[in-house]
Homo-oligomer: A and B are copies of this chain.
């Protein structure tokens, strides 16, 4: 599993305008805000099912109505296509 090159990463991030690059981790991060905890956890459940299906799991945290997600690929030592695919699938949940 290879990490994305700098050019590939730039292309991928252009297609994910709501995600930011965490250079220190070579990861992508996005925060989601919902009306309340119930909605936030419903979203987390959907992400958990995506993650388990793809066998690619986020690093994430939740405080009441907010969910912060970080995606990186440990096996690649940084951002890979698997993160980009997961970010697109997560975005599709909230569009």
Residues of A within 8 A of B (CB): 37-38, 41, 44-45, 48, 51-52, 57-64
Contact = CB atoms under 8 A, between A and B. Distances in A.
A44 B57 CA distance: 15
Contacts of A57: 37, 63-64
Contacts of A52: 37-38, 41
- How many copies of this protein are present in the complex? 2
A45 B58 CA distance: 16
Contacts of A44: 44
Given A57-B64, A60-B61, A61-B62, 6 more contacts: A37-B51, A38-B52, A41-B48, A41-B52, A44-B44, A59-B61
